[in-house]
Amino acid sequence: MDSQENANELMSASKAFLDEERLRITGLLAVEGLNSSQIAGRLGMQPDMVARHLEILSQMGLVQENGGVYRLDVAALNALSKRVLADRKPQVRSEDFEGDEYDRKVLKDYMLPDGRLKQIPSQHKKLLVILHHLAKLFKPGERYSEKEVNEILKKVNVDYAALRRYLVDEGFMQREKGIYWRTDN
């Protein structure tokens, strides 16, 4: 999905959920399946308004109707959230980086504003700065499978396997029997 399609979908989703009545209907349908009369009765709404809101939610694929009973399609709602929000990464500024002046300069030089790594530094001193920063992506005391480590590092750089190995080799993470955890470095 290109950025224009993403922006359009985000705008449509925002409009759909900016309406208080649609939000209330969505909340009801998240709990149980109801027909339009039940929805109108519980929310004190006119049946024609309920029908209009259900049509909008159905067009978005968020509500499914079966035998007159409407249900929230939670999987569709999750997918919509991921599509329109997951790519919206916070912009990282150089002043957001921790460390001394050298560390902040290295991070600024090697990190993109969206948090991705431009390239893996070849100079060992700079690599250590990057690895120290990346280690913070992992919660202390939490155990991660190799697949989970890969998923986290894929968001940073395409060479996630090298980053994973460097994190272990340089002591930022430990590995045993395919399970990884952050050290206190």
| Secondary structure (DSSP) of 38-106 | HHHHHHT--HHHHHHHHHHHHHTTSEEEETTEEEE-HHHHHHHHHHHHTT-PPPP-GGG--S-HHHHHH
Q: Give me the pLDDT at residue 107, please.
A: 92
- pLDDT for 61 equals 85
Residue 163 exposure: Cα atoms within 13 Å on the Cβ side: 27
Place of tokens 């001394």: 100
Domains of the chain: 3-85 (1.10.10.10), 94-182 (1.10.10)
Confidence (pLDDT) at 148? 96
Q: Which pair of tokens denotes residue 27?
A: 């909340």
Task: Give residue 21's identity as a one-letter amino acid code.
Answer: E
Q: Which residues contact 152 (CB under 8 A, 6 or more apart)?
A: 137, 138, 144
Q: CA–CA separation, 110 vs 127, rounded Å?
A: 10
Question: What is the pTM for the complete model shown?
Answer: 0.51
- What is the C-alpha separation between 7 and 94, in angstroms, rounded? 27
| Contact by Cβ (8 Å): 115, 92 | yes
pLDDT (0 to 100) of residue 9: 67
pLDDT at 59: 85
Note the pLDDT of residue 17: 73
pLDDT of residue 5: 66
Please report, in tens digits, the pLDDT of each residue of the chain (185 residues total). 555 665 666 677 777 677 889 989 999 999 999 999 999 999 999 999 999 999 988 888 889 999 999 999 888 888 877 776 655 454 555 455 667 889 989 998 999 888 899 999 999 999 999 999 999 999 999 999 999 999 999 999 999 999 999 999 999 999 999 999 999 86
